Structure 1
Amino acid sequence: MIDADVLERVLAGAVRTGAEFAEVYAEDKSSTSAGLDDGRIEQVTSGRDRGAGIRVIAGDTTGFAHTSDLSEAGLATAAAAAAAAAAHGGGGIRTVSLTQSPSHRPNTIVHQPDSIAKARKVELLQRMNDAARTYGPEIVQVSAGYGDSSKRTLIANTDGVLADDEIVRTLLRISAVADGDTGMQTGYQSMGHTVGFEIFDTVDVEELARDAARQAITKLQARPAPSGAMPVVIKNGSGGVLFHEACGHGLEADLVAKESSVYAGKVGELVANPLVTLVDDGTMVGEWGTLGYDDEGHITQRNTLIEDGILTDYMWDYLRARKEGRAGSGNGRRQSYQHLPMVRMTNTFVLDGPDTPDDIIASTPNGVYVAKLGGGSVNTATGDFVFGMTEAYLIEDGKITEPLREGNLIGNGPKVLQDIDMLANDFAMGNPGTCGKDGQGVPVGDGQPTLRVKELTIGGTAA
């Protein structure tokens, strides 16, 4: 996108007034989306956005400017604006020499989505609509969406970093509504990976649609969820969002530095059941949060955050790692070139344990089995959380029995980590997600094996 000699001159100009660090982050992103509702294709759109954000750091002050003009003059103007915002004097001349980082592509793309005719993408939505509606006469409404994007990034800074990456993402989602004597119920499924259109050679889109329809129809016969504290078993893949929200955010170094994390100052301490090992890994092939380099030019890596119950490390971006005199962890991420980077997760998950899913269910006399979690909220300073249960069942006498209407899981992240008393060997990643933090959203993945929490509070409506 930008020649290395241009980047060197722009960066040198950015630190001419005495700043100690400057960075150029450029991106060129193209995307396509399509939506279906009530049997009709409502929209098919394509777009392209390109530009650069320039960050200049002087002492504790950060200046930032962004521009859609990638010419040398446009970049120099943005760099001057960022430098002015961060300036603290000093003057002098600083030469910047960039060294190209080696190519690092976790994923191999076979079919670029932008090479595929839009008619083939629309056909996927029509196939899902037909499959959901023919699953049962109770299905009265279906909405579906398709999206793909291809983003090239280029990061250069005054430490000599010059890194580039290409991230291709492909997404499909479907929502089905069933109508019955108890009113309307909704089922939802989605699929998203950092691969090209070849994903549809292996993903059965009709099965995805049928599963959404099955969820909706099953919930027509659901009874009210119980209320109170009880054992909860969470199906593999479906509970990763709980660890992302209730534990992962508290392990981000910026929140730790602000003392807004319950895990501040606890490295080396036992914070979870020794069964639990929690990992953040931006290198997982095909997963939604995967990328070659983070948005500060640091190569992504596998970071063990909790090992055998002991807190071993936090996630780091450039600023926090620089203050601590340590290397980054590949967790500096931003929504786009118009945003500053911050510490963010990539793919966050709990590793396998020694048990089997069947043994966990059989050893739970009574409780709730959560097959799918919905959205939630968490207080990172305390770890308290509330999550919706979008598909759940009773456990009675060691067996999964009746479906439950939607209720809430209420608990505390650190306590959940300590109260996990069984962990299965059936690890799976969950649905693709978008993590929101300080007004920015980035793609993330999460997952876990089937597990049991010996006690969580269910916010149900049953008397």
Structure 2
Amino acid sequence: NKILHPKTKVMLLQEIEEIRRNGSAPIVVVDAALLVESGFHREFDRLVVVSSSTENQLQRLVQRDTLTREEALARIAAQWPTEAKLAIADYRLTNNGNLEELRAQARRVFMESHSQTILTWEEQRLEQATSGADRGVGLRIRLGETAYYASGNSVDPPSVRALARSLASSLTGSASCAPRPFTPRDAPPRSIVRAHPADVPLPEKVALLERADAAAREADSRIVQVTASYIETARSVLVANSEGIYETDATCYLTLAVSVVARQGDQIRAGYEVVSETSGFEMLDRARPEEVAREAARIALLQLSASPAPSGTFTVVLSARAGGTMVHEACGHGFEADFIEKGLSVYAGRIGQKVASELVTVFDDGTLPQKRGTNRIDDEGTPVSKVVLIEEGILRGYLHSLRTARKMDMRPTGNGRRESYRHLPIPRMRNTCIAPGETPPEKIIASVKEGIFVADIGGGEVDIVTGNFVFHCSEAYRIRNGVIGEALRDTMLTGRGPDILASIDMVGSDFGFNAGTCGKDGQHVPVSDAQPTVRIPSIVVGGTA
């Protein structure tokens, strides 16, 4: 043991490090009889001790290893006393029965750990550097259509058991449910992390922000303010329930955002650019800080010389760079099944009916690698999937949690999401997209005699029930005789999302993504959206001209 254990320890740590770097598994479990005795348990985040009575240990050793009773007793005596190992364990399981009885002890657990680092560069210096971690457990009991929920920020077994007793004591009557055996889900990892941000030294991260600041200021002397933000988030979840689900997932989010202010005389304009993925530090090799900063600067400078936008009804070409913001904000929530069951969506009861142009196909896909709305499983343990919502104008489906799928007799889609362990999961979008068509985007622009080309959409206001919206266009241009003309500022689009989907009469062959954070019922979750270039023949444009 003195010869082999050190070498085995090094090999195991190397293998674990490789798994962690390539993201091939969300959790690593090492099973070793002398884990505590060797001190190797200190290398791990959590220690699980599975104990058994001395008599059971003896019987199993004699049967498994064909030992005599005396030999088995000697082997047990060579290890630490069980009580000593239990005293330092994070989790304790008693294995005096069969395998199914052992598994049943773990079925009540739902855990989440969340860590985040935020760096903000402003006024040519590091303005903010914060880091924090949160972890906790949420427990849910369902009686009929009513869910009872409790959460706490302590995950040690005694605290979890106390939380469960407290939750159960709030209910009246009696009910029982025979737990189902755990069944593995077909849910492979979707996003690969090659360079975990936690392994990157802090000075290297700060240097990224400094590079972004320098690139934006070098763009033009009219740039007067630059704010660059770096955010890394690591989230791990464990989901278990009495229906046989026992799943884990680990997701790494990385975000770089640059905001730029340009001034010319009394006129002040802003530009903003962000990249965000479920990726590691390698994302910044594809989206270099200088490029992100220059794009933010370009948008701010463009607005200084832009003409006031006209007002009226126009044909609008919405660029792929707008990234599906309209379909997400003005239509997407109407596909979420909790709105459907309450009758609050225009799509309620319309499966199989035409709800959009025959050129329009809309889907929500949680399996897209590296996208911000991608995970391996949802927050109820259901594997994520690609859900076709509208197919060539026909409504085909909704986005479901376990509860809404059960109530509406449909299959879960992997869209049961929650902001944290403090919240109940509800149906949410992930990566919501209008599918590309076959028309080159240049041909779409050339088809417009007089209209507006919207390169990107910024903020706005949306009624997520009706789909009524007012969007601010962060970059827009006039189209005259099929050619993009002068830049416009203060351009607003007003309309109703479902009506816009129904009116689209040209769909481009390109495809562009945006990333963001979606709010609903007080919960915020990471999402992305995408679309091709599309032509909207008639939409109300608000301007100041």
The residue that corresponds to 1:417 in the other structure is 501
| Separation in 2, partners of 1:82, 1:268 | 42
Residue 181 of structure 1: how far off its partner (Å): 3.6
Change in CA separation of 1:270 and 1:10 when aligned onto 2, cut-off 3 Å = farther
The residue that corresponds to 1:442 in the other structure is 525
| Separation in 2, partners of 1:410, 1:345 | 23
Higher strand share: 1
The residue that corresponds to 1:50 in the other structure is 135
Residue 318 of structure 1: how far off its partner (Å): 0.8
| CA-to-aligned-CA distance 1:231-287 (integer Å, 9 cap, x gap) | 111110314111001111001000011111111111111111111000100000010
The residue that corresponds to 1:298 in the other structure is 382
| Separation in 2, partners of 1:243, 1:376 | 13
The residue that corresponds to 1:19 in the other structure is none
Residue 28 of structure 1: how far off its partner (Å): 1.2
- The code of the aligned residue for 1:268 comes to G
Question: Partner of 1:42: helix, strand, or coil?
Answer: strand
Residue 102 of structure 1: how far off its partner (Å): 5.3
Change in CA separation of 1:387 and 1:25 when aligned onto 2, cut-off 3 Å = farther
Q: Which aligned pairs between 1:49-448 and structure 2 lie closer than 5 A? A: 49-85=134-170, 87-91=171-175, 94-95=178-179, 97-101=181-185, 104-181=188-265, 183-430=267-514, 432-448=515-531
| Separation in 2, partners of 1:427, 1:103 | 26
| Separation in 2, partners of 1:63, 1:101 | 26
Change in CA separation of 1:9 and 1:45 when aligned onto 2, cut-off 3 Å = farther
The residue that corresponds to 1:40 in the other structure is 125
Question: Partner of 2:524: helix, strand, or coil?
Answer: strand
| Separation in 1, partners of 2:505, 2:319 | 15
Q: Does 1 or 2 have the higher relative contact order (CA < 8 Å, sep 6+)?
A: 1
Question: Partner of 1:255: helix, strand, or coil?
Answer: helix
Residue from 450, 453, 462 that aligns with 2:536: 453
Residue 98 of structure 1: how far off its partner (Å): 3.2
| Separation in 1, partners of 2:141, 2:509 | 47
Residue 80 of structure 1: how far off its partner (Å): 2.3
Question: Partner of 1:237: helix, strand, or coil?
Answer: helix
Residue 23 of structure 1: how far off its partner (Å): 6.1
Residue 382 of structure 1: how far off its partner (Å): 2.4
- The code of the aligned residue for 2:495 comes to G
Question: Partner of 2:384: helix, strand, or coil?
Answer: coil
Change in CA separation of 1:93 and 1:324 when aligned onto 2, cut-off 3 Å = closer
Structure 1 window deviating more from structure 2 (104-113 vs 375-384): it is 375-384
CA RMSD of aligned residues (A): 2.1
- The code of the aligned residue for 1:435 comes to C
Change in CA separation of 1:449 and 1:4 when aligned onto 2, cut-off 3 Å = farther
Residue 376 of structure 1: how far off its partner (Å): 2.4
Change in CA separation of 1:40 and 1:13 when aligned onto 2, cut-off 3 Å = same
- The code of the aligned residue for 2:111 comes to A
8 Å Cα contact 1:112-1:196 kept in structure 2: yes
Residue 377 of structure 1: how far off its partner (Å): 2.5
State which structure, 1 or 2, has the greater radius of gyration over its C-alpha atoms: 2
Question: Partner of 1:175: helix, strand, or coil?
Answer: strand
8 Å Cα contact 2:360-2:391 kept in structure 1: yes
May I ask how many residue pairs the two structures share in their alignment?
A: 452
| Separation in 2, partners of 1:83, 1:67 | 15
Higher helix share: 2
| Separation in 1, partners of 2:405, 2:102 | 25
Residue 45 of structure 1: how far off its partner (Å): 1.4
The residue that corresponds to 1:17 in the other structure is none
| Separation in 2, partners of 1:46, 1:377 | 32
8 Å Cα contact 1:410-1:457 kept in structure 2: yes
The residue that corresponds to 2:32 in the other structure is none
- The code of the aligned residue for 1:37 comes to E
| CA-to-aligned-CA distance 1:12-47 (integer Å, 9 cap, x gap) | 799xxxxxxx96431111211100111111011111
| Separation in 1, partners of 2:423, 2:221 | 47
- The code of the aligned residue for 2:159 comes to G
8 Å Cα contact 2:358-2:392 kept in structure 1: yes
Name the TM-score, length of structure 1 as normaliser. Answer: 0.93
Change in CA separation of 1:10 and 1:72 when aligned onto 2, cut-off 3 Å = farther
| Separation in 1, partners of 2:340, 2:219 | 48
8 Å Cα contact 1:64-1:81 kept in structure 2: no
Runs of 5+ consecutive residues of structure 2 not aligned to the other structure: 1-45, 49-90, 95-99
| Separation in 1, partners of 2:526, 2:466 | 25
| Separation in 1, partners of 2:496, 2:215 | 40
Residue 392 of structure 1: how far off its partner (Å): 0.9
- The code of the aligned residue for 1:25 comes to F
Structure 1 window deviating more from structure 2 (91-100 vs 353-362): it is 91-100
Name the TM-score, length of structure 2 as normaliser. Answer: 0.80
Change in CA separation of 1:418 and 1:5 when aligned onto 2, cut-off 3 Å = farther
